[in-house]
Homo-oligomer: A and B are copies of this chain.
Amino acid sequence: MKPFINNISVDCIIFGFDSGRLNVLLTKRELEDEKTGNIIFTDYTVQGHHVLEGEHIDDAARRVLKDKTGFDNIYLEQFHTFGDPGRIQHERDKLWISAKFPTVAAHVVSVGYCSLVDSTKVKPDTQHQFTSWWPVDKLPLLGYDHAEMIARALDFLRIKIQREPVGFELLPEKFTLSQLQNLYEAILGVSLDRRNFRKKVGQMKFIIPLNEKQKGVAHKPAQVFIFSRDVYDRTKKEKLDILV
């Protein structure tokens, strides 16, 4: 691996959607006392790494994502760059850095990326025992400035989802309209009228019904839809306001 640039990192806020809740993927950070083996602290961080020399920052983010979720080709967009030299203020962070990365510069500028994954396809627990999903409204203790990062990523997502069809990245390829509605409700923190929601979806040519129904549910099975980016790209000029 190429040497990494001391002063520049990327951090990926990875969102997933499951059972009507918006979740974020976090990595557990546990510092042990070298001598006694006692745990000094436990907290969580988002996924990040330094940018390598000659590496595009987008590629650095993709690399982090690949490592943490096992997937590439997933939605990824830069949302903010964090350049406060005082970002490392907690005692936990100082302990962690001096134990693990004694050679890294104190002043690290980090580019934050917002990533959306279909969490039915990602099972991080089986691949990386220290990563797990956390509901965005019930986060554990976080390291560095990652609480702020997540809050900002969420603001970004809220605005983004009202202008562009990124919500589908969080759903399986085939989804029902109720799933889609739940997604919007969870992200925007509102409740929407079902009939009005479906009226709007009906006008969007890029949300396409399939001749297929849900199976194995203990109620009337719902019709299944797909999102067509192709159709969207051809019709977006007509309708730029999405669903809300």
A212 at the interface (CB under 8 A from B): no
Proximity bits, A172-183, B CB within 8 Å = 1, else 0: 000000000000
A56 at the interface (CB under 8 A from B): yes
Proximity bits, A102-144, B CB within 8 Å = 1, else 0: 0000110101000000000000000000000000000000000
Instruction: Give A55-105 interface residues, CB cut-off 8 Å to B.
Output: 55-58, 60, 78, 80-81, 83-86
Given A5-B7, A7-B5, does the pair A84, B107 have CB atoms closer than 8 Å? no
How far apart are the CA atoms of A163 and B159 in the complex, in Å? 10
A54 at the interface (CB under 8 A from B): yes
B57 touching A107 by the CB < 8 A rule? no
A106 to chain B: closest CB distance in Å? 8
A242 at the interface (CB under 8 A from B): no
A53 at the interface (CB under 8 A from B): yes
Given A78-B80, A78-B81, A81-B78, does the pair A8, B109 have CB atoms closer than 8 Å? yes
What residue of chain B has the Cβ atom nearest to residue A162's Cβ? B163
Instruction: Give A194-219 interface residues, CB cut-off 8 Å to B.
Output: none
Name the contact of A83 in the complex, choosing from B51, B83, B85, B107 (C-beta under 8 A).
B51
B57 touching A5 by the CB < 8 A rule? no
- Additional pairs, 12, CB under 8 Å, beyond known A5-B107, A54-B85, A78-B81: A8-B83, A51-B109, A55-B85, A56-B83, A56-B85, A57-B81, A57-B84, A58-B83, A60-B83, A83-B111, A109-B111, A159-B163
Query: What are 15 sample pairs from A and B whose C-beta atoms fall under 8 A apart?
Result: A7-B7, A7-B8, A8-B109, A51-B83, A53-B85, A53-B107, A54-B85, A56-B84, A56-B85, A57-B109, A58-B83, A78-B80, A78-B81, A83-B111, A109-B109
